[in-house]
Amino acid sequence: MSRLTFLLPAAALALAGCAAETGSVTTPAVDEHKSLQALRAQLRGPVAQSPVFIDGAAHDVAIAVMRQQSNPAIPEVDIYRFRHTGWQTQASVRLDLGGSVADDGGTTTPIRTADITPAAPPELVVTVHYNAGPATAVLSDIGGRWHALTFHGGLTPDGDERFDVTVGNKGTLTSRENDCVPDCAAGHQVVTHYRFVAASGRLEAYTNR
């Protein structure tokens, strides 16, 4: 698979200055923005990008791009950091999600930032679409390596994704899933709350009281 050494921007500029719980995002400098525009033009197929976010490193801004792979047909998220005159790849995370990537196109936000763990960079909340609805994974640099956090508990087995996820205060997450009882057509919506637990390194289900 061919890979670009540098990469992207776009509609994310409108998200700069979000509230604290959405992660530390920033407006790109002129050279960063120019480089993003040129590189974004080279991408093909559905592509979504995050806002430019502060990653706490010497070169202190980064960005993430989600691309649809064809073989296998799964999304991949690439994280880039701006160095000198261009965006250089920092990490690549393949998501065990399936689903399809929605091109951001200025009207959707398939990659958002949020403060969920104690890691310096914000987490990346990435959403893909199935016929049944949107599914979300959370990528984190906690531990010094970008990876998908595991959801533990709730209706479905441990994994990278949950359906219809929203981000709440203090880094909590809420999913809404069909229990398919007695069947999916007549099932009931079950709400599950998650939060990051440092001891396990997972997003653990908890009771919201």
Distance CA 85, CA 203 (A): 37
Q: What does the pLDDT read at residue 128? A: 83
Which of left, alpha, beta for 147 (phi over 0: left; psi -120 to 50: alpha)?
beta
Give yes or no for a contact between 55 and 62, defined as CB atoms under 8 angstroms apart. Answer: yes
E strand or H helix at 194, and its extent? strand 189-197
- Distances in Å between the Cα of 160 and the Cα atoms of 18, 122, 136, 140 are 26, 18, 8, 12
Q: What does the pLDDT read at residue 73? A: 67
- 36: which DSSP letter? H
148 against 70, higher pLDDT: 148
SS3 11: helix
Q: What does the pLDDT read at residue 11? A: 34
Q: What does the pLDDT read at residue 83? A: 81
With a cut of 90, say whether residue 147 has pLDDT above it: yes
With a cut of 80, say whether residue 177 has pLDDT above it: yes
Q: What does the pLDDT read at residue 176? A: 92
Distance CA 60, CA 56 (A): 5
Pick the range with the lowest mean pLDDT from 21-30, 82-91, 151-160, 171-180: 21-30
209 against 115, higher pLDDT: 115
Q: What does the pLDDT read at residue 146? A: 93
> Where residue 201 falls among pLDDT bands split at 50, 70, 90?
very high
With a cut of 90, say whether residue 115 has pLDDT above it: yes
Pick the range with the lowest mean pLDDT from 30-39, 146-155, 172-181: 30-39
Distance CA 81, CA 89 (A): 6
163 against 72, higher pLDDT: 163
Please report where in the chains the tokens 């649809």 appear, as a residue: 68
pLDDT tens digit sequence for 12-68: 333 333 333 456 788 888 888 888 887 777 777 677 888 888 876 554 677 788 777
Backbone angles phi, psi at 195, to 5 degrees: -145, 155
Comparing C-alpha atoms, which of 128, 139, 146, 137 is closest to residue 57?
Answer: 146
Q: What does the pLDDT read at residue 198? A: 96
Prediction pTM value: 0.81
